[in-house]
Structure 1
Amino acid sequence: MIAIPTAAILLGACGGPSVYEDESFSESSPYARRYPTDAAATCIAARQVLLSQGYGLTEESNYSIKGSKAYQPDDDEHLTLELTVVCMDRKNGGSMAYANAVQTVYALKASNSNAGLSVSGVGSISLPWTSDGDTLSKKAAETVAEPEFYERFFNLLGKMLN
């Protein structure tokens, strides 16, 4: 009977601190900015910002945009930066723009395989035919948390609105 609670305590200790423990949910946020224009005009300007910086638009509506940009930091790694912008009207006039960027890293994995032949009653034979191929596999994905990134985005958005 003692083994079960002890195992539960040990398993809980292995997990380490949760990544969301530092979430503050404070009123000031690098992911949001107020603008004097309505949400539709703010989103049009956000589209212009993304397009002017080389992002391809992957999803669009009147009040949200998603764009992505690809990078290749080295031969064996591919990186995608996806930026989502949501625009909302405020009750007292003006609008809020919310931005969230996610960086996804893909690694090149080499794979090779040998061909085999199996005949019932005789057995199986491995043949010398090989197939080499490289595939991209997802290595990591993380929200871009640097306030300076969002500051640059929102500053250009403000300039597009003027």
Structure 2
Amino acid sequence: MLMNPPALRALLPACYVALSAALLAGCGLSSPLKSPPKPSVYQNEKFQADETFSRLFDAGVGETCEAARRALLSQGYVITNANTGMVMGAKRFQPDGEEHVEISFNVVCVPDGRNSQIATAFVSAQQDRYVIKKSANATSIGVSALGSISVPLSSSQDSLVKIASETIPAGAFYDRYFALMQRMLREQAADQPQ
């Protein structure tokens, strides 16, 4: 049985509504094309012996941390805190006009061996990245004696916004720092009266 064209035209909007509802319902179902959820960052922490952030030095705690402090100072780092067993320092960089980077060092020196004659330095460096965020400030001044005349005044204010922060992974960066610490220890030992 064939339907006449006016009856067919009357059913057409109902068919569109039913088809649209079916498509929307299908979009709500989970798709097999979705990527699996990313593992948490801490899942990648392996705590392997070869990923060490420490070195053993043939000097006491005081001398080791002093070498750490001098190594940072020699490279332009600003020391933010230093005592017998700990040194903290930071240095800022501006790789391009809009990006700023700050590297912060934390060094902890602990005694090792018999009579604490040697020390282990644990070092961790963190890199923070910032960008400049501009925000406009607008102010109007109304002069009542002249009527309702407003003169717009505007200014902009720049601020640094942190966009990323990470611990620098173990590797060549720390190897260079530990080598500089070792050199500073040798220089300190040479300066000591015999």
- Shorter-chain TM range is 0.7 to 0.9
Partner Cα distance (2:69, 2:160) in 1: 29
1:138-157 alignment runs, 5 A limit: 138-157=162-181
Q: 2:136 aligns with which of 98, 103, 112?
A: 112
Higher-RCO chain (CA-CA 8 Å, sequence separation at least 6): 1
Partner Cα distance (1:14, 1:145) in 2: 26
1:65 aligns with 2:96: no
Q: 2:51–2:170: 8 Å Cα contact kept in structure 1?
A: no
Match of 1:122 in 2: none
SS of residue matched to 2:47 = coil
Q: 2:127 aligns with which of 103, 106, 125?
A: 103
Q: What whole-Å deviation, never above 9, does each CA across 1:102-155 have from its counterpart, x for those lacking one? A: 0111100111132368xxxxxxxx862222121111111111114100000001
Partner Cα distance (2:170, 2:56) in 1: 19
TM-score in terms of structure 2 length:
0.67
How far apart are residue 78 of structure 1 and its match? 1.1
SS of residue matched to 2:88 = strand
1:46 aligns with 2:73: no
How far apart are residue 77 of structure 1 and its match? 1.3
Structure with bigger helix share is 2
Alignment root-mean-square deviation, CA: 2.2
Q: 1:104–1:140: 8 Å Cα contact kept in structure 2?
A: yes
> Aligned residues, how many?
143
SS of residue matched to 1:30 = coil
Consecutive unaligned residues of structure 2, counting only runs of 5 or more, are: 1-34, 142-149, 187-194
Equivalent residue letter for 2:61: A
Structure 1 ranges of 4+ moved more than 6 A:
none
What is the identity percentage for the equivalent residue pairs of Structure 1 and Structure 2? 36
